[in-house]
Structure 1
Amino acid sequence: MRIAGILTVAAWLCTTVSALERRLTADDLTRKGTSPALPLGLFRHLERTEVATRPAVIGGVDSKTRQLPFGASTASKGSHFGPHTHDQRVSHLDAGTETFKQRYWFDATFYKQGGPVYLLDGGETDGEDRIPFLETGILRILAEATGGLGLILEHRYYGESFPVANLSTDSLRFLTTEQSLYDSAHFAQTVVVPGLEKHNLSDVPWIYYGGSYAGAKSAFARKLFPSVFWGAIASSAVTTAVVDFHDYYTPIMDHGPTECIERLVEHTSLIDSILALGTPFLTSRLKEAFGLGNITADADFVNALAIPLGSWQARNWDPAVGSTRFFEFCDALAVGNSSSLAAVDLPSLPKDPRKALESFQGYASYVKEHVAALCPPDTTQDECFGTDEYTGDDLEDAPWRSWSYQFCTEWGYFIGHGPDPEAPSIVSRLLDTEYTGKICRLAFPDGKLNSVPPVPNVTTVNQYGGYELSYSRLAFIDGSEDPWLYATPHSPLAPKHGRRPDTLSEPFKLIPGGVHHWDQNGSPDLKRSSEPKAIRRVHAEELAFVKEWLREWDDSRRWKWRASGRSRRAL
């Protein structure tokens, strides 16, 4: 490693901080970039602000739920869809009889006697956030074409569906993937939908749909409860739980703008090199250049630098809900025509140090304007970007606490630098699993009835099949540029990668250029012709295989009727 390269940048840091401060302008807090790196302190401060209640949208993703802000209309929040409640068992795994109110929404506009029921799993967010998929998205598309009923079931421990009074470690003991899967099965077998009391919904085909974590659940449910769910569509389904999920960043590195990724790799390497020197003077100047001079811990500093990367996941084919923030971030780095700072271990400085430093300055300016500015002026940066405080177990803490508990106990997904410290990366090597997993140790102290394991027990998830999970009438829909791709059956790490067939019985489809469950939303104006070609195609394919599944249902019903008739005649 060449110290000369590091010191050249350090010299720039010392002389340009004041100039940077004069050039920067305030940015709209509703359009910042978020990522798995969003720390709890910053999340809470955003949640308390007036902007956050609109809600706060960070790089196109709701800061509370990490979901794209698909805006439900005012009408959709009224009595036409719900919410309604279903008496759900607190535990399906013991003899207890306690129940809680689990919310659901439905649309019977297109329902015809004997038609299918499409159940959308609410996943790790407030179920109301899924209403647009009932209104104009995948539930509307399927129900309208097949005379079906669309339903959204809110996940236990999210929204307002709580079986407990608080979120202490003990109270969280009923929050497991298995319990939530039983919720869906019990709901499908026992729900009485208002206005459809005369319809026997237990004797019609149920098709389960979910995206991301809920997508994995839809796949698991088809395997666990084949007599309850006739079919399932698993979109961006993370069927493989992984403790060290550094591959979240691999699709970004593979598909992001080449120049941008190269610069970011180089800048990240340089920042790590400066921090490794352990020189307080240089470290403080580095942090000040990014507007983060008052963050004490180096790891918290580089974690803040990773926040804009989450805007890659915020992309969507519909510009009304998707974000272009990632490419704006890249534009900030793309200063000049030459490459940015050369790798610090080269024998000489960049051929054009001025342009190299200009690119680094653009990076620092972007972070200062779009990340550092997120912290309220009356709050310290350690309070915003620090990661040592994870307290709070009220129900209002569910937006961060419920999913944190789930990944700490079963799913993992600690997202940071890979295990090889020398591998090219767009995030700092300080973001190891020790750092990204500290929330598990701090947020969930041992209770009397429950405790969080030292390492997430991913076997509880992967036992269902992981990458190789398959079943008849189970469809997998993924996006080629999804940062979660490496946790899905389409993962390049899957044993059958590139060799798994796509059939009507077991559809296996990859949306070119698609990101996270891009098939879930539909055109808001209901004109499918306005959807991009790839989205129109996948929606048409989904309709085709679902209709084939329904024909199989009808055939099975006729066979049973005839068999029953022959039996009666024989008697």
Structure 2
Amino acid sequence: MTVQKYNIWYTFGFLTMSILVFQESSAWRMFHLGRARGGNLGVPRSDDGGPLPNALWFDQTLDHFDHLDVRTWSQRYFVNDTFWERGGPVFLMIGGEGPANAMWMKTGSWIDYARSHKALCFLLEHRYYGKSHPTPDLKVKNLRWLSSEQALADLASFITAMNEVYSVPAGTRWVAFGGSYPGSLAAWLRAKYPHLVHASVSTSGPLLAKADFKEYYDVVWDSLASQSPECVSTLVAATSQIEALTRTKKGLSELQTLFKLCEPLNTTSNNKIDELDLAAFFETLAGNLAGIVQYSGDNREFEGAKGVNITIPVACSVLQNSSLGAPVRRVATLNSLLLTAYNTSCLDYTYKSTIQQLRDYSWSAAVAEGGRQWMWQTCTEFGFYQTSSGKPDLLGNYFPLEYFVRQCADVFGPRYNGTLLQHAIDQTNIEYGGLAVDTSRVVFVHGSVDPWHALGITHTLLPKCPAIYIKGTAHCANMYPAAPSDLPQLKAARKMIDSLLTQWLS
């Protein structure tokens, strides 16, 4: 079996994609469907200026469930064997809905655990993300092999091969790590392949597939309100003011200036705003606000143009600042701060532009960094749609479930409707068990600030699967390197995870 392979086609494809993503950064959304641009797991901070490990390539099976299909493709992975002593465990970091980053091979809490437990470390990039391209493009007919089930089989195949390539002694224990969607995969991998994976650390993983994820904005509301009730009341007041401005031409012009819209909110022939554009505008504002909450103070490396890490306290300080003017102007100021931080010139929000971008099936498209692929997985497996149904007062009830279902149909075709979505969600929960997943030696870790915890296990349900619920922390916060400013409960959570690993590996 070939495990190290380099393909010029992949190199050219990724180079082209990188250039176009840079050129189009002002057009593509910063936060869409609960996913940040580049993936939900960011880049960990590192004070080490040393070289990163080189990418390696693994010949992976295209379709693990059709044994007559023998096609393969090149899947990217990274390895760190500097800590490994034979007899020590093997740690596997699971790649997710974005490019795998080699920085995770030298820093992060899992590397601290690997150092103390003398572990061999692998990071496997998820199929269809980053440089791991199973097909020539992202046409609908070629997305049929993008699923969590195929990804889990990839991991099983990889583990089996690496045991042979690295002459891993028989009986060596593998531990899977993952954050966000890969946190779900880590739990499911242990449940489905217990003979290959001895234990898993599942961080911020949503386990229950659900179409209308209205609880998401419940947590956003609570997280902002815990900082300051005025923070939330400003948003509620701003919503009413925005709605009032949409009713006049002068108001529409003011909104374009205030929020630096790439395109104006135009009215139709009967003097009404296009309902889809209005929904897209509010959903974009809400999504960017939710992104602040989801990643608030998670210790990732922030690479914005101004190096400004916009946390909940920063956002609320803007929203509470009456010197900035009316609530709508404070929300607009926060929007401008986000645009500047992410080196984005204007707010791209229109429904038409969103659909046009998501329809682009080329690997060189801006959305090929993961936007189109993640949307496919939400439309065909998970749902996870952060609708306005739960907290309509926050930023208006303009994007209910039907809004997202329409996106599925408009991007992938009319057959991807609500009926197919619900069937897919039912099958996902049957396949994995939802919140009733039956397994052992899995620790479920969530932060109270992270909206995704609403679809995860936050309290211990099984004796051999403890849950760690960290008050005041965000999405995947425990995975990042420790910082002096870390809350005591975050420090304690990392120690508890290490203690569990010691117990399970002894």
Q: TM-score, normalised by structure 2?
A: 0.80
Q: State the Cα distance separating 1:265 from its structure 2 match.
A: 2.0
Which whole-Å deviations, capped at 9, do the CAs of 1:75-104 have from their partners, x for residues lacking one? 6664xx331111111111011221111111
Q: Is the 8 A contact 2:44 2:300 kept in 1?
A: no
Q: State the Cα distance separating 1:415 from its structure 2 match.
A: 1.6
The match for 1:117 is 90
Q: Is the 8 A contact 2:61 2:154 kept in 1?
A: yes
The match for 2:319 among 307, 328, 333 is: 333
Quick one: structure 1 residues 211 and 541, their matched pair in 2 at CA, closer, same or farther if it must change by over 3 Å? Answer: same
The match for 2:421 is 455
Q: Is the 8 A contact 1:181 1:221 kept in 2?
A: yes
Quick one: structure 1 residues 376 and 203, their matched pair in 2 at CA, closer, same or farther if it must change by over 3 Å? Answer: closer
The match for 2:168 among 194, 199, 212 is: 199
Amino acid at match of 1:213: Y
Amino acid at match of 1:544: S
1:301 partnered with 2:268: no
1:94 partnered with 2:66: yes
Quick one: structure 1 residues 77 and 175, their matched pair in 2 at CA, closer, same or farther if it must change by over 3 Å? Answer: farther
Amino acid at match of 2:448: S
Q: State the Cα distance separating 1:280 from its structure 2 match.
A: 4.5
The match for 1:510 is 469
Amino acid at match of 2:477: W
Q: Is the 8 A contact 2:405 2:418 kept in 1?
A: no
Q: Is the 8 A contact 1:469 1:489 kept in 2?
A: no
The match for 1:367 is 335
User: CA separation in 1, counterparts of 2:25 and 2:45?
Assistant: 16
The match for 1:49 among 10, 19, 23 is: 23
User: CA separation in 2, counterparts of 1:396 and 1:94?
Assistant: 29
State the SS of the aligned residue for 1:240.
coil
Q: Is the 8 A contact 1:70 1:132 kept in 2?
A: yes
Aligned residues: CA RMSD:
3.7
User: CA separation in 2, counterparts of 1:531 and 1:332?
Assistant: 23
Quick one: structure 1 residues 47 and 462, their matched pair in 2 at CA, closer, same or farther if it must change by over 3 Å? Answer: same
Report matched runs for 1:491-530 at 5 Å. 500=460, 505-523=464-482
**Any unmatched runs of 5+ in structure 1?**
1-42, 337-354, 491-497, 552-571
User: CA separation in 1, counterparts of 2:75 and 2:419?
Assistant: 28
Q: Is the 8 A contact 1:45 1:375 kept in 2?
A: no
Q: Is the 8 A contact 1:104 1:152 kept in 2?
A: yes
Q: Is the 8 A contact 1:235 1:477 kept in 2?
A: yes
User: CA separation in 2, counterparts of 1:380 and 1:268?
Assistant: 17
User: CA separation in 2, counterparts of 1:290 and 1:56?
Assistant: 14
The match for 2:296 among 315, 324, 330 is: 315
User: CA separation in 2, counterparts of 1:62 and 1:327?
Assistant: 20
Q: State the Cα distance separating 1:501 from its structure 2 match.
A: 5.5
Q: More deviation in 173-182 or 288-297?
A: 288-297
Q: Is the 8 A contact 1:111 1:148 kept in 2?
A: yes
User: CA separation in 2, counterparts of 1:269 and 1:446?
Assistant: 35
The match for 1:134 among 105, 114, 128 is: 105
Q: TM-score, normalised by structure 1?
A: 0.72
Report matched runs for 1:51-90 at 5 Å. 63-70=37-44, 78=52, 81-90=53-62
Q: State the Cα distance separating 1:385 from its structure 2 match.
A: 8.3
Quick one: structure 1 residues 255 and 373, their matched pair in 2 at CA, closer, same or farther if it must change by over 3 Å? Answer: closer
User: CA separation in 2, counterparts of 1:261 and 1:287?
Assistant: 23
1:176 partnered with 2:147: yes
1:537 partnered with 2:492: yes
Q: State the Cα distance separating 1:151 from its structure 2 match.
A: 0.9
The match for 1:324 is 310
Q: State the Cα distance separating 1:138 from its structure 2 match.
A: 2.8
Q: Is the 8 A contact 1:409 1:452 kept in 2?
A: no
Amino acid at match of 1:100: W
State the SS of the aligned residue for 1:152.
strand
User: CA separation in 1, counterparts of 2:80 and 2:485?
Assistant: 24
User: CA separation in 1, counterparts of 2:107 and 2:468?
Assistant: 22
Quick one: structure 1 residues 143 and 366, their matched pair in 2 at CA, closer, same or farther if it must change by over 3 Å? Answer: closer
Q: State the Cα distance separating 1:234 from its structure 2 match.
A: 0.6
The match for 2:433 is 465
- Equivalent pairs counted in the alignment come to 461
Quick one: structure 1 residues 65 and 317, their matched pair in 2 at CA, closer, same or farther if it must change by over 3 Å? Answer: closer
Q: Is the 8 A contact 2:39 2:98 kept in 1?
A: yes
The match for 2:127 is 156
The match for 2:185 is 217
Amino acid at match of 1:109: T
Q: State the Cα distance separating 1:50 from its structure 2 match.
A: 9.0
Which whole-Å deviations, capped at 9, do the CAs of 1:270-327 have from their partners, x for residues lacking one? 434664xx55554444454444471333223323322233111222343754933443
Quick one: structure 1 residues 374 and 183, their matched pair in 2 at CA, closer, same or farther if it must change by over 3 Å? Answer: closer
Which whole-Å deviations, capped at 9, do the CAs of 1:4-62 have from their partners, x for residues lacking one? xxxxxxxxxxxxxxxxxxxxxxxxxxxxxxxxxxxxxxx9999333988xx9988xx96
User: CA separation in 1, counterparts of 2:182 and 2:445?
Assistant: 13
Q: Is the 8 A contact 1:169 1:446 kept in 2?
A: no
Q: Is the 8 A contact 2:77 2:124 kept in 1?
A: yes
Percent of pairs identical after alignment? 25
**Any unmatched runs of 5+ in structure 2?**
1-16, 267-276, 303-307
State the SS of the aligned residue for 1:191.
helix
User: CA separation in 1, counterparts of 2:341 and 2:264?
Assistant: 13
Amino acid at match of 1:394: S
Q: State the Cα distance separating 1:359 from its structure 2 match.
A: 3.4
Pick the structure with greater CA Rg: 1
Report matched runs for 1:183-194 at 5 Å. 183-191=154-162
State the SS of the aligned residue for 1:515.
coil
Report matched runs for 1:218-367 at 5 Å. 218-256=186-224, 257=227, 258-272=229-243, 275=246, 278-292=247-261, 294-296=264-266, 297-306=277-286, 307-318=288-299, 320-321=301-302, 323-336=309-322, 358-367=326-335
Which whole-Å deviations, capped at 9, do the CAs of 1:485-525 have from their partners, x for residues lacking one? 111112xxxxxxx6x3685x3221111211111111123xx
User: CA separation in 1, counterparts of 2:337 and 2:240?
Assistant: 22
